[in-house]
């Protein structure tokens, strides 16, 4: 069984943001997201792998037998956009994206150019529902 590359590290989240975020706006947005996700999740931020800031964790196991750990929610201030790991990707949760604001979607990843492009109250609701779903499905770590 292969080991997941994305595992929590002891690296400094603040140092990571200061070094990795490629603009002052992205740094500002990253520190605001740090505060918001910590407040909503109730978990301290951890750097997962080389570039994801995660909050809390859960252990998953797929029918294929693949299993691992992942953050409940998180983000990464990538060059092209800030990636938000805050959505389950499930159709029954798609309504949580209504009126969120200006963003693009990956499979379950939300990409924003800047935090001001989205409604942080809607993001808070999305985070809360995602965390609740993951804890009910996988347990509370």
Residue 61, domain CATH? 3.90.1150.200
Question: What whole-number percentage of the chain has pLDDT above 70?
Answer: 96
Question: Would residue 4 count as lying in a domain?
Answer: no
Question: Would residue 74 count as lying in a domain?
Answer: yes
Helices and strands in the chain: count of H runs, count of E runs: 3, 8
How much is the pLDDT for 4?
Answer: 67
Residue 130: give the domain boundaries: 13-138
SS3 state of residue 121: helix
What whole-number distance in Å separates Cα of residue 132 and Cα of residue 108? Answer: 16
Question: Would residue 58 count as lying in a domain?
Answer: yes
Question: Would residue 21 count as lying in a domain?
Answer: yes
Which residues face 82 on adjacent strands?
77, 112
Name the domain count of the chain. Answer: 1
Question: Would residue 86 count as lying in a domain?
Answer: yes
Which tens digits make up the pLDDT trace of 59-104?
A: 988 888 888 999 999 999 999 999 999 999 999 999 999 999 999 9
Question: Would residue 33 count as lying in a domain?
Answer: yes
How much is the pLDDT for 131?
Answer: 97
Question: Would residue 99 count as lying in a domain?
Answer: yes
Which tens digits make up the pLDDT trace of 98-126?
A: 999 999 999 889 999 999 999 999 999 99
Average predicted confidence (pLDDT) for the chain: 93
DSSP state letter for 108: S
| 1 pLDDT more than 50 | no
Min mean pLDDT across 2-16, 26-40, 90-104, 115-129 is at 2-16
Can you read off the two tokens belonging to residue 75? Answer: 């983000």
Higher pLDDT, 60 or 129: 129
What whole-number distance in Å separates Cα of residue 108 and Cα of residue 97? Answer: 11
């Amino acid at each position: 069984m292969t080991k997941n590359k994305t595992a929590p590290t002891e690296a400094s989240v603040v140092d990571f943001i200061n070094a990795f975020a490629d603009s002052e706006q992205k740094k500002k947005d990253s520190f605001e997201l740090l505060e918001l996700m910590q407040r909503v999740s109730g978990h301290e931020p951890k750097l997962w792998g080389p570039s994801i800031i995660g909050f809390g964790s859960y252990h998953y196991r797929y029918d294929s037998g693949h299993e691992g750990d992942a953050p409940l929610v998180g983000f990464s201030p990538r060059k092209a956009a800030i990636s938000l790991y805050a959505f389950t990707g499930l159709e029954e949760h798609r309504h949580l994206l209504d009126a969120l604001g200006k963003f693009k979607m990956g499979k379950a990843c939300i990409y924003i150019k800047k935090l001001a492009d989205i409604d942080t109250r809607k993001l808070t609701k999305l985070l809360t529902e995602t965390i609740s779903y993951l804890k009910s499905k996988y347990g509370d770590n």
